[in-house]
A and B are shown apart, each in its own frame.
Chain A
Amino acid sequence: MSEKVLVAMSGGVDSSVAAMILKQQGYDVVGVSMQVWDYRQNGGCGSRATCCSPDDFTDARKVAGKIGVPYYVFDFEKNFRSEVIDKFVSQYRSGLTPNPCVECNNKVKFRELRNRAADIGFDQVATGHYARVEDRGGRLGLLRGVDRAKDQSYFLYGIKQAELLKTKFPVGHLTKDEVREIAREGGLQVSDKPESQDICFVSGTVAEFLESHGGGTQRGDIVDSSGAVLGEHDGLHRFTVGQRRGIGIGGKEDPLYVIQLRPEESQVVVGTKKELEVESFLVGEVNWLVEPKFPLRCIAQLRHRHTGVPVVVNSETNGTVSVTFEGEWAPVAPGQAAVFYDLDNCEVLGGGSCLR
């Protein structure tokens, strides 16, 4: 009896190849697309920038047919709305910079999907993420994908250690080019499909999305750290801590950065680079994949495109840790994920959400 794996298929090349590889390896594969967004009700007719369009499902269906696996579409709309979209909107409203892909992975892909998989008798879940699950001498570890430019391990820190055994990332040890090549060789028509950019449920700009979902924040003042008003902004959601561009205030000697968002007063606080610098910060709702020993020296990645900087994780209280930069500092945007990697900057030790 072959091992059963449910593969989340988006219709894109990564998950398509993931499904194909598992099928070739002899697993009992079922492909599933998660419908998280109803195109009919929410507009967005077939724009390739978003996901879950009927065209994407058709692509996934064709790939499933080509590789010879059953294919279904699961309805995740409700779950996605409450766990991802609503949180996205409310976090922006609270002056945080949300990370919906992390929420989706944690709450939708690797929890709800896993539950549904179990319901139909499937123990393992696989995706086309660029990440790896590997044996680290007696335990399983979550590692960065081999293709560093495509690595998505940053978004996967929320997976529980016990779940690694039931999770597969078939393309994590490949480069994007290799994946496209495999797709081409396999006759999968999605090999040259452009990648979905940005957030899968936002078809216009984030600002437009928030405005149409009741999350549009009001105008307010741009102030410096002493409270002096320097200008006006038209929505906190257009700013994130560490941002330099788009502030719209010129004529200052030193370049200005966003150093804080104050939702209660609807203020954007800006300052010099020096003012932006912090020595330490807090990270909440931490999930550990490797049991930590404090003080923990490791590499912290603070946003998607951040290579990571050396830090010391000092201690933990009730799931919140205090972290100190060891040398080089980086802007900390509350709401963004802070993911801790080993000193080789390869294995994910754990991660959480940056607090104010």
Chain B
Amino acid sequence: MKTLNCDVNAGYPLLEAVSSRLSVWCDELGNPSSVHHRGQRAKLLIEQAREEVAEFLGVPRSARVVFTSGGTEANNTAVNFAKSRYIGSGIGIITSSVEHPSILESVKHSGVPYRMLPVSESGALNREALFDALNADTILLSLMAANNETGVIFPLYDIIPEVRKRFPNITIHVDATQAAGKSAINLEKLNADLVTVSAHKLGALSGVGALIVREGFELSSYLRGGAQEHHHRAGTENVLGILSFGLAAKIWRLEGESRRRAMEGSAQIILDTVREEIPAVLLNGEGEPRIPNTLNLRFDGISGDDLVVALDIQGICVSSGAACASGKPDASHVLVAMGLAEHSAKQSIRISVGSELSEEEALLIGQKIIETVRKFSR
């Protein structure tokens, strides 16, 4: 049975160009800190990868791409920075209530007074609450560029200049994990201080990501014990991961536009197909600008978890809520923050398509969703 991957937001399938280079790269693995030619070869390659990532993101020449073990580490590093700088008594960290747990949990455990900004029913950021919360003691504002569950995009190109006007000393962190690739982002224009990206969301290997650091920004290293990443992040570099990241970044730079068009087309076909037969279906986040590949659908009276299983048995991979180590999926905190009651949140599934999906496949997926939803009698 063919697998139809509609869960790329959990991890974009490894790009073919990347997987075919893996064995070649394996021969080039060395410790980039070594003086001998093997180490230097590895060093050269990771620097080339770094350039690719920078170019893909439109990073200003002088900024630093600091490779990490992934988006989670990059996010934790940003929060850790705020923790080390905070003095005073006012709200030190401001973020939104729909961020990824790697932000929410690290903020909660930072010991710094924080505010998690509410969002509207459609997932839009409450700007009033943001400017209400900002104060002289605020060290860090951390906002995601696009939400992993609903795809809703925060208007950061507007918000950031406004924030800087009033609070020029605030550090602004953007979690661009889902936005990179699925939307055209330009970090120079974005004008953030710290930006998180994750390699496996771009079809590279997992276990690697980057924190893009503004030039001149003094970021104390989260991990100590080595001079790697210009003293920003100790630890022998994940060469294989970084090389895959570099190639994926190049591919998305060159093919991003056509890929986004393809994803948008497939997602639209699925949505239209389902809506035609099941007009009562609800789109969580409707009305807000969204990344083109994500549909968070709600079917009244139907358990999202059961729907995920029923679709999986037919080869269609989607997700609901968030995977959790305890085994049982929780209601999405994002949907709950948008005002959904827990039981309604649990009636939602997330469909996130890649650009490799064909139109026929998208149509088939839509039809299978309809069939399966209809079979749920209760």
* Co-complex (A, B): yes
* Residues of A participating in the B interface, judged by any CB pair closer than 8 Å: 30, 33, 35, 38-40, 54, 57, 70, 72-75, 77, 115-116, 118-121
Would A73 and B328 count as touching, CB distance under 8 A? yes
Would A120 and B310 count as touching, CB distance under 8 A? yes
* B305 sits at the interface (CB 8 A): yes
Would A70 and B327 count as touching, CB distance under 8 A? no
Pick the contact of A75: B313, B329, B377 (CB < 8 A).
B329
With A75-B305, A119-B310, A121-B313 in contact, do A38 and B375 touch (Cβ < 8 Å)? no
**Cα-based distance from A57 to B325 in the complex (angstroms):** 10
With A72-B309, A75-B305, A116-B306 in contact, do A121 and B328 touch (Cβ < 8 Å)? no
Would B326 and A70 count as touching, CB distance under 8 A? no
With A75-B329, A115-B378 in contact, do A121 and B310 touch (Cβ < 8 Å)? yes
- Chain B residues positioned under 8 Å from A33 (CB to CB): 327
With A54-B326, A119-B375, A121-B375 in contact, do A74 and B310 touch (Cβ < 8 Å)? no
Would A70 and B310 count as touching, CB distance under 8 A? no
* B222 sits at the interface (CB 8 A): no
Would A57 and B378 count as touching, CB distance under 8 A? no
Pick the contact of B327: A35, A115, A116, A118 (CB < 8 A).
A35
Pick the contact of B306: A35, A38, A39, A120 (CB < 8 A).
A120
- Chain A residues positioned under 8 Å from B375 (CB to CB): 119, 121
Give the Cβ gap from A201 to chain B, nearest Cβ, in Å: 15
Given A38-B326, A119-B378, A121-B313; 10 other pairs, CB 8 A cutoff: A35-B326, A39-B326, A54-B326, A72-B309, A115-B378, A116-B306, A119-B310, A119-B375, A120-B313, A121-B375
- Chain A residues positioned under 8 Å from B305 (CB to CB): 74-75
Would A70 and B306 count as touching, CB distance under 8 A? no
* B359 sits at the interface (CB 8 A): no
**Cα-based distance from A77 to B325 in the complex (angstroms):** 16
**Cα-based distance from A299 to B336 in the complex (angstroms):** 54
Would A70 and B376 count as touching, CB distance under 8 A? no
Q: Closest residue of chain A to B305, judged by CB?
A: A75
| 17 examples of A-B residue contacts, CB within 8 angstroms | A33-B327, A35-B326, A35-B328, A38-B326, A54-B326, A70-B313, A72-B309, A74-B305, A75-B305, A116-B306, A118-B377, A119-B310, A119-B377, A119-B378, A120-B310, A120-B313, A121-B313
A-B pairs with the 4 shortest C-beta distances? A35-B328, A120-B310, A73-B327, A57-B327
**Cα-based distance from A98 to B305 in the complex (angstroms):** 31
Would A75 and B310 count as touching, CB distance under 8 A? no
With A119-B306, A119-B375, A120-B306 in contact, do A77 and B328 touch (Cβ < 8 Å)? yes
Give the Cβ gap from A111 to chain B, nearest Cβ, in Å: 12
Give the Cβ gap from A127 to chain B, nearest Cβ, in Å: 19
Give the Cβ gap from A297 to chain B, nearest Cβ, in Å: 42
Give the Cβ gap from A158 to chain B, nearest Cβ, in Å: 21
B 350-378 to A, binary, CB cutoff 8 A, 1 in contact else 0: 00000000000000000000000001111
- Chain B residues positioned under 8 Å from A116 (CB to CB): 306
> Chain A at the B interface: mostly helix, strand, loop or mixed?
mixed
Give the Cβ gap from B319 to chain A, nearest Cβ, in Å: 13
Tell me which residues from 304 to 336 in chain B have a Cβ below 8 Å from any Cβ of chain A.
Answer: 305-306, 309-310, 312-313, 325-329
With A115-B378, A119-B377 in contact, do A38 and B309 touch (Cβ < 8 Å)? no
Give the Cβ gap from A41 to chain B, nearest Cβ, in Å: 9
* Residues of B participating in the A interface, judged by any CB pair closer than 8 Å: 305-306, 309-310, 312-313, 325-329, 375-378
**Cα-based distance from A39 to B312 in the complex (angstroms):** 26
Pick the contact of A40: B326, B329, B376, B378 (CB < 8 A).
B326
- Chain A residues positioned under 8 Å from B378 (CB to CB): 115, 119
**Cα-based distance from A57 to B312 in the complex (angstroms):** 19
Give the Cβ gap from A31 to chain B, nearest Cβ, in Å: 12
- Chain B residues positioned under 8 Å from A30 (CB to CB): 313
Give the Cβ gap from A138 to chain B, nearest Cβ, in Å: 31
Would B329 and A119 count as touching, CB distance under 8 A? no
**Cα-based distance from A39 to B377 in the complex (angstroms):** 31
Interface centre among B306, B326, B329, B375 (most CB of A within 10 A): B326
- Chain B residues positioned under 8 Å from A40 (CB to CB): 326
- Chain A residues positioned under 8 Å from B376 (CB to CB): 119
Give the Cβ gap from A32 to chain B, nearest Cβ, in Å: 8
- Chain A residues positioned under 8 Å from B310 (CB to CB): 119-121
Give the Cβ gap from A3 to chain B, nearest Cβ, in Å: 15
**Cα-based distance from A54 to B305 in the complex (angstroms):** 18
Give the Cβ gap from B108 to chain A, nearest Cβ, in Å: 15
Q: Closest residue of chain B to A34, judged by CB?
A: B328
Q: Closest residue of chain B to A36, judged by CB?
A: B328
- Chain B residues positioned under 8 Å from A121 (CB to CB): 310, 313, 375
**Cα-based distance from A70 to B314 in the complex (angstroms):** 12
Give the Cβ gap from B23 to chain A, nearest Cβ, in Å: 27
Give the Cβ gap from B342 to chain A, nearest Cβ, in Å: 10
Give the Cβ gap from A34 to chain B, nearest Cβ, in Å: 10
**Cα-based distance from A38 to B312 in the complex (angstroms):** 24
Interface centre among A33, A38, A74 (most CB of B within 10 A): A74
**Cα-based distance from A118 to B310 in the complex (angstroms):** 10
Q: Closest residue of chain B to A39, judged by CB?
A: B326
Q: Closest residue of chain B to A57, judged by CB?
A: B327
- Chain A residues positioned under 8 Å from B328 (CB to CB): 35, 38, 73, 75, 77
Interface centre among B309, B312, B327 (most CB of A within 10 A): B327
**Cα-based distance from A132 to B183 in the complex (angstroms):** 58
- Chain A residues positioned under 8 Å from B312 (CB to CB): 70, 72
Would A54 and B313 count as touching, CB distance under 8 A? no
- Chain B residues positioned under 8 Å from A115 (CB to CB): 378
**Cα-based distance from A111 to B312 in the complex (angstroms):** 23
Would B327 and A120 count as touching, CB distance under 8 A? no
Q: Closest residue of chain A to B346, judged by CB?
A: A75
Give the Cβ gap from B323 to chain A, nearest Cβ, in Å: 10
- Chain B residues positioned under 8 Å from A119 (CB to CB): 306, 310, 375-378
- Chain A residues positioned under 8 Å from B313 (CB to CB): 30, 70, 120-121
